[in-house]
Structure 1
Amino acid sequence: MNKNVILFSLASLLAGVLIGYLIFNTSSLNLHENMEHIADHQLWTCSMHPQIMQPEPGDCPICGMDLIPAEAKADGLSPEQFRMTNNALALANIHTMVVGNSQENTDNTVSLSGKIAINQETEAVQASHFDGRIERLNINYEGQEVKKGQLLATIYSPELVAAQQELLTSISLKESQPQLYQAVRNKLKLWKLSDNQISRIESSGKVQTNFPIYATVSGTVSEVMGIEGNYVKKGQPIAKVSNLNTVWAEFDAYEGQLSQFKKGQQVSITTNAYPNKKFEGEVSFIDPVLNSSTRTVTIRSTLKNQNNIFKPGMFVTAKIKAVNKSLDQKKLYVPSTAVMWTGKRSLVYIKVKADEPIFEMREVLLGSRKDEQIEIKSGLSVGEEIVTHGTFTVDAAAQLQGKKSMMNKTVSKTMIGNERYLGMQESKNSNSSIPMMKMELPEAFQRDFKAIFPTYLNLKDALVASDAKLTVTNAKATMDILKKLDLSGMGSMEKTHLNKSIEMLEAITQKEELENQRNHFVILNENVVAIASSLNSLEDTLYVQQCPMANNNKGAKWISKDTEIRNPYFGEAMLKCGSIINMLK
């Protein structure tokens, strides 16, 4: 009996051990698999630089501290996505639209921007007919009306005085040497003296010291080229006179639009001065030479200028029916306010989910521009929802959350380290070599905008010197210049960059605190550099420089007139930190 009990007990013990082994071994295997699964998705971050994310433990690439496990995300967002609150959306007045849902161009017209110019075919140069000094100039300003035969200037000419002496001497030889007499008269006629003027000199017997220059045409003075008291040469212009009964309306067409135009096409023109009036014309000239800097061609229409309605320099808009009726059938257009331009990239923000405020930055390739619409060649698809108003606010939210943004280009390897995931996303959504579309800036705006560079450079130097008070002074001077700029003819996107620049300068002036000033200087430069990069020319070469450690290690740029690096974001602490990333000639 005892033996049976012992055997039964041993059998039960062995069975329990076996069952326990099987149970715990299976759990161990499952736990091991779960740990491997967790390890595959565990990310490591730096306690001092939370934007650093790596797939494995190690050292922070910025400060060298040991990485710690990052908290697992419970929101289900990818590393490039971020969430905003509904309250923030409402306060910032952020608007979105679905790409492809905008009203289509049913009449197949192309809109072009341009301005009124003088009809050069009616322009006449009023010149001096002989060497001399301008004793009196009767035309003093551009826009002055002149009539044919009106006195323009009075000139003293030593050689004309000598020629008159010859005439008076030849009168006594008129009978004996008529050929000599006639030769002297013809010489005076070559200097545009009339027969009546020559006859008066003969009858008076006196030399005339000052001679008049009369207008040969009627019109409006478009340029005064002479100065009272200056010496002029024979044939030297004194003034340009234009007949403004007809004017040219000149428009810029992009290279990709040229196939849509031909001479004789009807043009419907509107002006800012008379927005409720339409003026009809036709294409009279297509420039055979492409402007290599703007990649545009001039399209011209000649207009009758009744009652002087059209003023040279006036901004106008034309609508022309395209030759190719399939011009825009397969093209995607978005509002220009949806696009942010940086030194090398064009960016939009995608609303990832229709019912949730989740966003993601996307780089796009731009095409031609029509009014306030910009063609998207790649980077967007029909049906995607994009931010059209409040784009800069969304970008600021991305920066605060350490996400890919306008000022933080590289999120892949640095931010996450997971090449399999984010590398795929980058190749799908972005292209670092995509060229930035050049802004359309009127010539007058470009000329006046250049006036900010001296004060801007002083502002930058004040931050280099860590002088908060001087920074305020120069920021105010720069802001005052920008506020006076004429924005006529500028698109919404260009105005947005300018207004954002003014907003940042105003923020800098309101607080004499260096850290605050430098934070606003970051965003100021993103906008100023974008505008400066679109200027056709500069008087002096400027350098766009960048510090990779500024703006919480996201990088920040500035403009300098020197190649030497003098960092405005750190001053003496890191004066030489940075490099030249672009040159503005």
Structure 2
Amino acid sequence: MKKYIIYIAILAIGLVLGYVFFGRSAEGSANTKNVSDMTENSTMEKQMWTCSMHPQIMQPEPGDCPICGMDLIPAETGAEGLAMNEIKMSDNAMALANIQTTIVGNVSGTDENTIQLSGKIMANEEANAVQASYFEGRIEKLNVNFTGEEVRRGQLLATIYAPTLVAAQQELLTAASMKESQPALYKAVRNKLKLWKLSETQINQIESSGKVRENFPIYATVSGTVSQKIAEEGDYVKQGQPIVKVSDLGTVWAMFDAYERQISQLKEGQKITVTTNAYPNKEFEATVSFIDPVLNTKSRTVSVRTTLNNKEDILKPGMFVTAKVAMTKGSDNMETQITVPATAVMWTGERSLVYVKTNPNEPVFEMRAVTLGNKNGDVYTITEGLSNGEEVVTNGTFTVDAAAQLQGKKSMMNATGGKTMTGHEGHLGMEGDKNNTGDKMNKTNHTEMNERIEVSNKFQNQLKQVFDDYILLKDALVNDDAKNAQEAGNQINQSLKKVDMKLLSDEKAHNHWMTIQKELKTSANAIENSSDIATQRGHFKHLSAHMISSVQLFGVNENVYIQFCPMADNDKGAYWISLEKEVRNPYYGEAMKTCGEVKATLQ
């Protein structure tokens, strides 16, 4: 009996020890397993699935693509937690695009509390004089040899043969012989000669010599610079006909153009500081002397004039100048306004947009609609949409927007997001997929774009030349021809130089084109300077994004197709423009020439 009691005791102790050493471990393993399962489930809950050929498809679980039937693949986790108006860029992309940001603040706390105007030097019309002939005749000798020559008052300008004066001199000699008997007649003849600007001395010389002169001198009545030669030697001039124009450049006018939004800030008598390109370190102080009461309806500007002292003769008519005018304090609630550089603002025709960096430690940007106030030089005031201390993209704004378009985010041309791009024929028409799900995708992803900016046919034709050179570049990349791609890059640069921004009368259209032109030039330069086709294709993606923007904004009077390859740029995808509906891929050339699809038709 004692023996069995010992066995039972040993068994009980063994069970207790087993629980102590193995039970808790198993429980921990179970707990660990539960935690692992929860983590996995959490990850699965967050994981989204997409199609490699149709990146606009996003589903919370694996399956087949509703468009092409391919198996869905896990979407990149880097986009998790971002809203449709947010985009995240890599540090490498930030560096390549030279994207820069600026923290914005009150206008009253900046040095940009001025209006900046551009203009040029002109001759002071109030100091201009026309030297005319006082009698009819032929110019025998002209002593002014060239425009720009200095003349002084009393200087001999020309000698004229004057038949009418020959007869008048004969009358003088006849009247002089009868001046005792007919003094009134004698006096009348002398006065007649004085009306022809002959001096007393000249008249007395004729009378004392008793001889008739055929040639008479014309003397300068003012001092200054010859701004125009109107007559030449041998010309027959009538009485009062101009011979030369003389400008006194001791004072000159500086004429500036001010936009409508700047007019309220300008007043006659306002202090103005003028600088020139020729003397960048020298400032000229003056006051606004005249504001044109009539608005130029083509450029939407008014002329603003100031008179500058030019005793040192360093200001030449035709020189380009800039001016700074202090803003009127208290207007437009300027104390509460925010300012941003003009390069930060994108304009779609109805909306003004900026990109705000939402995370100070990561390159995450949010598209934001803002309301613009006055433009002062290269700075806009923002009345709504931004707060003090926010960080805004000020260089590379269009690059960020292009990246947003490529990632299917909300962008300048796509107000609701989605990978699908739209065309324009008044509004741009979306070309749907041809399979049975095409209509559904069309309705789901169609986004209406803002109205195209109206520009002149001449500007469109100049832009069309840039576009034609772009097509040559695209074809060279399709054919794996790096040399012709370089030449096309050079041609794009040459055509960009010929685009006349003065044809854009609208200020915002002008600013848009300035930004797009800069980006196009940067990409074209990079392609022109590289003989490596892989490098050229990398820059072609950036070039295409801005070329698409320019065609969408301004048009090129031709139907074009926006095409997309989801495998380009390491499966990030890339767009390009084509004149043909048939896909010919510039990112892969002969390797995968037909890879891609038509995303939109721009009409």
Match of 2:226 among 217, 221, 229: 221
Superposition deviation, residue 121 in structure 1? 1.6
Superposition deviation, residue 553 in structure 1? 10
The CA deviation string for residues 183-240 of structure 1, in whole angstroms up to 9 with x for no partner, is 666555444444444555663735525x544322112233444455655554444433
Query: How many residue pairs are counted as aligned between the two chains?
Result: 486
Residues 522 and 551 of structure 1 are in contact (CA less than 8 Å); yes or no, is this contact kept in structure 2? no
State the AA in 1 paired with 2:93: A
SS at the partner of 2:335?
coil
Highest Rg: 1 or 2? 2
Match of 1:506 among 504, 525, 537: 525
The CA deviation string for residues 261-301 of structure 1, in whole angstroms up to 9 with x for no partner, is 44444444455555555544334333333333444444444
State the AA in 2 paired with 1:503: T
The CA deviation string for residues 289-348 of structure 1, in whole angstroms up to 9 with x for no partner, is 333344444444433333234444341323336254775112221022323456776442
Map of 1:167 onto structure 2: 168
Cα 1:227–1:169 shift into 2, 3 Å: closer
Cα 1:413–1:572 shift into 2, 3 Å: closer
Residues 108 and 325 of structure 1 are in contact (CA less than 8 Å); yes or no, is this contact kept in structure 2? no
SS at the partner of 2:84?
coil
Superposition deviation, residue 387 in structure 1? 0.7
1:126 aligns with 2:122: no
Could you state the TM-score of these two structures normalised by the residue count of structure 2? 0.61
Map of 1:564 onto structure 2: none
CA distance in 1, matches of 2:577, 2:198: 68
SS at the partner of 2:83?
coil
SS at the partner of 1:291?
coil
CA distance in 2, matches of 1:503, 1:230: 55
SS at the partner of 2:363?
strand
CA distance in 1, matches of 2:466, 2:262: 42
Cα 1:230–1:283 shift into 2, 3 Å: same
- Output aligned runs, 1:125-524, within 5 Å: 125-130=130-135, 137-155=142-160, 160-161=162-163, 163-171=164-172, 173-174=174-175, 175=177, 189-197=194-202, 203=209, 205-208=211-214, 211-226=216-231, 232-312=237-317, 313-320=319-326, 322=328, 324=330, 327-340=333-346, 346-405=352-411, 411=417, 414=420, 432=450, 460=467, 471=488, 474-475=491-492, 477-478=494-495, 499-507=518-526, 509=528, 522=544
CA distance in 1, matches of 2:142, 2:580: 57
Moved more, 356-365 or 408-417: 408-417
CA distance in 1, matches of 2:526, 2:113: 45
Superposition deviation, residue 365 in structure 1? 4.2
CA distance in 2, matches of 1:434, 1:482: 19
Residues 367 and 410 of structure 2 are in contact (CA less than 8 Å); yes or no, is this contact kept in structure 1? yes
CA distance in 1, matches of 2:150, 2:551: 43
CA distance in 2, matches of 1:482, 1:404: 30
Residues 343 and 529 of structure 1 are in contact (CA less than 8 Å); yes or no, is this contact kept in structure 2? no
Unaligned runs of 5+ in 1: 1-33, 439-449, 486-490, 534-542, 555-566, 581-585
The CA deviation string for residues 554-578 of structure 1, in whole angstroms up to 9 with x for no partner, is 9xxxxxxxxxxxx99426979xx97
Residues 138 and 153 of structure 1 are in contact (CA less than 8 Å); yes or no, is this contact kept in structure 2? yes
CA distance in 1, matches of 2:72, 2:50: 6
Map of 2:557 onto structure 1: 545
State the AA in 1 paired with 2:579: F
1:570 aligns with 2:589: no
Cα 1:364–1:121 shift into 2, 3 Å: same
Cα 1:252–1:529 shift into 2, 3 Å: farther
Unaligned runs of 5+ in 2: 1-40, 423-439, 477-483, 503-509, 567-575, 584-599
Cα 1:413–1:529 shift into 2, 3 Å: closer
Cα 1:280–1:200 shift into 2, 3 Å: same
Cα 1:383–1:362 shift into 2, 3 Å: same
SS at the partner of 2:287?
strand
Could you state the TM-score of these two structures normalised by the residue count of structure 1? 0.63
Superposition deviation, residue 349 in structure 1? 1.8
Percent identity, aligned pairs only, is: 45
Superposition deviation, residue 48 in structure 1? 4.1
SS at the partner of 1:308?
coil
CA distance in 2, matches of 1:166, 1:221: 33
CA distance in 1, matches of 2:494, 2:416: 35
**RMSD of aligned Cα (Å):** 5.5
Residues 221 and 242 of structure 1 are in contact (CA less than 8 Å); yes or no, is this contact kept in structure 2? yes
Map of 1:81 onto structure 2: 86
Residues 99 and 384 of structure 1 are in contact (CA less than 8 Å); yes or no, is this contact kept in structure 2? yes
